Structure 1
Amino acid sequence: MEYHVKDLSLADKGKDRIEWAEIDMPVLRKEIRKRFLEEKPLKGVRIAACLHVTTETANLMRTLKEGGAEVYLCASNPLSTQDDVAAALVKHYDIPVFAIKGEDEETYYQHIEAVLSKKPHITMDDGADLISTLHKNHPELLENVIGGTEETTTGVIRLKAMAKDGVLKYPVIAVNEALTKHLFDNRYGTGQSTIDGILRATNRLLSGSVFVVAGYGWCGKGVAMRARGMGAEVIVTEVDPIKAIEARMDGFRVMPMAEAAKLGDIFCTVTGNLNVIREEHFKVMKDGAIVSNSGHFNVEIDIPALERMAIKKRTVREFVNEYTLEDGRRIYLLAEGRLVNLSAAEGHPASVMDMSFANQALSAEYLVKEGKELRADVYVVPGHIDKHVAELKLKAMGIEIDELTPEQIEYLNSWEMGT
């Protein structure tokens, strides 16, 4: 088998961790994988996946393989790979993986090229690097592709831009837009795992600190909620007036970054945009300010500006770089500005990824059945899949809910019955 991982001797440890995560992924484990094993809906389908190589992703790969697919996996971020998981997928589950934690940019793209060389029928993306590389470098492979999926807000933004410009050549399902994904994964998963990453990297007390969250989308809501829950005073910065009002109504202080930069002890960007924290903000930050990012790409913090401003740089802890400015102030950048939750911690808990990856698996099945009928565009997850995932999750949690009575259905579908 062709693969590129750090060390196969880590495989047994990785297998134990994959099995631990599996316990908290009953939808993927019990419901979908069992049916996939029996029906083989993905038989003969080659899937190239560019995702964070974590224990949860490993269980998605196992499910796709049980469904009959040939699966090839590479990392969607140079710092997010769990090397023991990568080794376990190769050694214990015969799934080719091309990913090493801390790989440089050249190796990162070599790994993307490796999975694309398998001539995939379906692509699975987390940030759209796989799809963009395929379109730029290998137009000859596009005729093989039935469709793709995209996991993240950032990736969906990129793909919608491609579709708008008329360069997207096959249909992509925006898994991130599923209600059972962004309402839970983005809010509760990102909220908890981001705080986890910041604490593992710094071991700082959040209680009593001023915590600045840039962006109040679903991810920002989760981070703000968890930071406040640990006793921080939370400030939100926004460019969207509606989200800004929502943040204020939720009890957070709202102000421009230029003002928040003077007050914050800890900063976290979750916007999906470029240079949210930049030179003018670094100039007014407190000595000892901690800056982190939980958006997909390491562009939300203007790191080149920080490098230019610093007269000295050193690594003081794993994932913590200290930049000393000319006036003696120190600014601490976490995880090189990359996803702090996956670089310094383990990413989202398995329970919430159970729903996200259930959407991935079922969307792949849907593409096999319906992909040839779809034009090249970005699509939301079909409503029946979204609802089915929610039903399966409730069942796995042992929760029952009411059903509409025939009378209620008639009332909701009628206009004659008024006051």
Structure 2
Amino acid sequence: MNNAPASQIAPPAPPIVFPLSLLCLSASWGGLELNTVRFAGWMRERGWPVQLITLKGSPMAVRAEEQELPVAFLTNPLKAVDVPAAARLAALLRAFGTRVLIVTRNADLALAVLCRALRLPALHVVYQQHMQLGLAKRSFVHTLRYRALAAWLSPLPGLAREVLQKTRLPADRLHVVPLGIELEKFASSAPTQAEARQQLGLKLPNGAVLLGLIGRFDEAKGQLFVVESLAKLRLRHPQLHLLLVGEPTRNVGSAYRENVLHRVQELGLTGAVHVRDFTPHPEVAYRALDVSITASTNETYGMVTIEAMASRLPVVASAAGGTMELVDDGRTGLLFPPHNAAAFGRCVERLLTAPELALRLGQQAQAEALVAYSHHRQCELTEQILRGLGL
């Protein structure tokens, strides 16, 4: 027991931090890119020196500069064998004093490992996984690449099991670190549902029930499936309306979005389907809803599902990919087989006929989301791993 006077007790040592760089050479703007920029900002707020390395003029670069994050620019036209790019990357890392390089896009792993092998052997490379592996990666080249990693951060236990099955990554370097979200704004009770609908310019009839699918327009996200399912459901439940919020997938074009809107007209749903562009305040869109829909055919993680859960909404979701780990069927949401319109309809009708079920699902979903998927937890778990690297 320490009986020394308070004035003689040394203050606790400050936590160990060291310069970090995040590498993501993507020209797109989706969940991976958004999460990378957000994570960089969160770690900076926690006292870590952080720089983002990305493509000049990319959406990531623009967003990072808006947040006054240190940004460095790089291209690697020769991809996995781009030795000159590896040298340029090493120069950027040396200039910043980087001790750990966190790679968030699988396509950039080869460049990071090449940089370490040729220029910076003391560099610790950490992979923050955002996508599924797909095919097995147990070849000699993949094995060398993955064994050069100091740590692999997988966002869900199922994805971590897949890594062990499909690669030869040493198991002690694999860690489950859920990707985080600033959930407080989604859990807030403001604005009210009426205020949110007014902000979105929604004029719904009395008694309307608003379903919503939030996310970029992409065939894999299932907007067309939901529109066609709504047409059938409204034959029995004319109070149903649908809100779609999002923009076309960047670098793909707007053909799919236009196809969805054309189908809305064909089905006579113009007055029941409400389309809004991407919003920097998605919490307002969730607040306007009665039910959140996730109709993706193979969602790796599903940030929008977590946002909806944190918003205390009942979630109706396709049983595919990481969604099956996020949503516990019957407890935190309802699952249906992908593209099964009959099963989807039954889920929606269960909520319409049992409002107490909708309330219970939303409450349990919010409680679980706030515990498991907070951005504070992602940062804390990542810090534990980084400080355990022996730097």
Common topology (TM > 0.5): no
- TM, length-normalised to structure 2: 0.40
Structure with the bigger percentage of helix: 1
- TM, length-normalised to structure 1: 0.38
Q: Which has the higher contact order (CA 8 A, sep 6+)?
A: 1
